[in-house]
Amino acid sequence: MAPQAQIDAANVSIEAAKTAGADRYAPESFNAASEALKTALTAVEEQNSKFALFRNYDASKTTLASVATLSTKAVEETTAKKEALKAEVNQATVDLGAIIVADKELLAKAPKGKEGKAALEAIGQEIAVVETVNTEVTAGVANNEDILTLSDKIKPAVEKAKAINSELTDVIAKPKGYRNPISQTKKEDEAFLDQDSLEIADSIAASTMPHFPWPPPKASTTVKIPRNLIVKSNPNILLSEIAKQFESILGKAGYDQISYYYFPSGFAIVSQLEQINKDGTPKSEESRWNNKYEKPKVFNLESYIRALFTAQPGYFRVIAFIFTSKPFNQSDKTITKETGDFLIHAGSTVLPKKIFDIPFSSDYYCMALIYEFKQVTINDRPTLVDPSTVSGKTHLVNTKIWKELEK
């Protein structure tokens, strides 16, 4: 019998956690509980679909039991987070008050030239806005309003007040005509070579490009592409040049569609979802780019009998090439085939060249994350293959990407 009572109890505990605000204040624990419930329900469904004599709900029961524990943990974390945020917001209002006072003093000292007058008036208005936010947040804390919203409101205000402070300090300290080098168009055209510039380039990329999921979802298999296959004879190769090189390599391997994503300290190239055989070789051109499961073709008696009596799984694959200087771990979260398919549409079609005119120094490396999905029959949902029966390198060899890299 399906453990209906335990499912109901798990649903109740999840609802209680949600009511407490755990989905916003303790999303990791809440998501863990929700995921556990989903896993349990999938397992129950899977058992229900089996012949009655073969059903076994032990695993589902264990997972369902963990849902309550995780939900309780999420509620406890929520309470603690609310308290911590409250203290944080209180402190932020005090700090912001002090910065506003300092800003006002600096504003009074700032030189008022012909052009500067209007700018200083604008800054004065910005200080007034920040002050209003501070007053609203202080009142909100006193009225026990949602602390997360208040925290989200005060943080940009503090940043703004600090930016005004820094701007006014610069205006007072720097000679007339000085401008922030980063905002100058000429400078944007130059390669960013020092550490500060790399950070700035990273933040520009982060704000202009769609983000690859972080931390990256668990892949079926991975492979680190040797540096010599990327750099070849050009040790000063830039990341933007590597992107072009990969675009060409993937094109030659048949991938006409690729997407670019921002990845911390670098970028990611994601290939189109393709249908593959069990050994990682792509299916024939007519089937390869079909993102729906296809029944195996019947061409003789043996294939007919196999198709009549057995499950004929379909395999799908998405490859993400990560270029970064930052070490990373994969998360426990798994992605679905639909998400894998969506990645090709959600990314950027080109890499913003100027931002990535950065040398592919020895700190950088390229990691291919291979997401393989298996759909057992036309009646099943595709699931991530974990781990893949084919090595990461074999996947790339079988797609001819490796061969192109070696050229």
Partner 1 sequence: MKISMSIAKKRIATVWFSFGGFLFIIMFIQTLGEHYGAKVNEAWSWFLPTIFPTLSLIIAVLISDAKEINNTQKYVDKFLFHLTMIVSIVYLLLIFLVIFIDPLSPNISNIELMKLSGLGLGPFQGIVIACLGVFFSKQGTQN
Rounded Cα distance between 216 and 340, Å, is: 12
Closest by CA position to 360, among listed 227, 175, 172, 161? 227
Tokens of 219: 């892949």
- First-to-final CA distance of the chain: 60
Minimum CB separation from partner 1 for residue 277, in Å?
17
- Specify the DSSP class assigned to residue 358: -
Choice between 173 and 308, CB closer to partner 1: 308
Least Å distance, CB 381 to partner 1, is 8
Kindly tell me which of 38 and 109 has the beta carbon lying closer to partner 1: 38
**Shortest distance (Å) from residue 257 CB to partner 1:** 25
Cα gap 295→292, rounded to integer Å? 10
Please spell the DSSP secondary structure of 48-95, one letter per residue.
HTS-GGG---HHHHHHHHHHHHHHHHHHHHHHHHHHHHHHHHHHHHHH
Nearer to partner 1, 298 or 346 (CB): 298
Smallest gap from residue 150 Cβ to partner 1 (A): 47
CB of 376 to partner 1, least distance (A): 5
For partner 1, the closer of residues 169 and 383 by Cβ is 383
Does residue 181 have a cis peptide bond before it, meaning omega lies within 30 degrees of 0? no
Residue 403 carries which DSSP code? H
Given the rule CB under 8 A, which residues bind partner 1?
A: 45-46, 48-51, 294-295, 297-298, 304, 307-311, 376-381
Cα–Cα distances in angstroms (integers) from residue 373 to residues 2, 137, 292, 383, in the given order: 28, 48, 12, 5
- Answer whether 78's CB lies under 8 Å from 21's CB: yes
Q: Which is nearer to partner 1, 213 or 313 (CB)?
A: 313
CB of 301 to partner 1, least distance (A): 11
H/E segment holding residue 2: none
- Our CB check for partner 1 shows the closer of 50 and 109 to be 50
